[in-house]
A = this chain, B = another copy of it.
Amino acid sequence: MELECVKKMLEKGIERAAVVDGLPWKFIEHLCMNGLQIDLMEPGHVVCSMKITPRLLNSNNSFHGGAAALLVDMVGAAVIPSPMTSGVSVEINVSYFDAAYLHEEIEIDARLLRFGKAVAVVSVEFRKKKSGKIFAQGRHTKYLAVASKL
- Chain A interface residues toward B at CB < 8 A: 1-7, 9-10, 12-13, 16-17, 19-20, 23-38, 41, 46, 53-60, 62, 64-67, 69-75, 77-82, 86, 88-99, 113-114, 116-119, 121, 123, 134, 137, 139, 141, 143, 145, 147, 149-150
Contact = CB atoms under 8 A, between A and B. Distances in A.
27 contacts: A2-B82, A6-B77, A6-B78, A10-B33, A10-B38, A17-B34, A20-B30, A24-B54, A28-B56, A59-B86, A60-B88, A64-B70, A65-B89, A66-B92, A69-B73, A69-B92, A70-B70, A90-B119, A91-B141, A95-B113, A95-B114, A95-B141, A97-B113, A97-B121, A98-B114, A113-B137, A118-B143
A58 B66 CA distance: 16
Contact of A92 (B57, B90, B93): B93
Contacts of A38: 6-7, 10
Q: Interface residues of A: mostly helix, strand, loop or mixed? A: mixed
Contact of A65 (B41, B92, B97, B150): B92
A26 B58 contact: yes
A135 B21 CA distance: 25
A4 B82 contact: yes
Contacts of A90: 90-91, 95-96, 119, 141
A86 B1 contact: yes
A113 B133 CA distance: 9
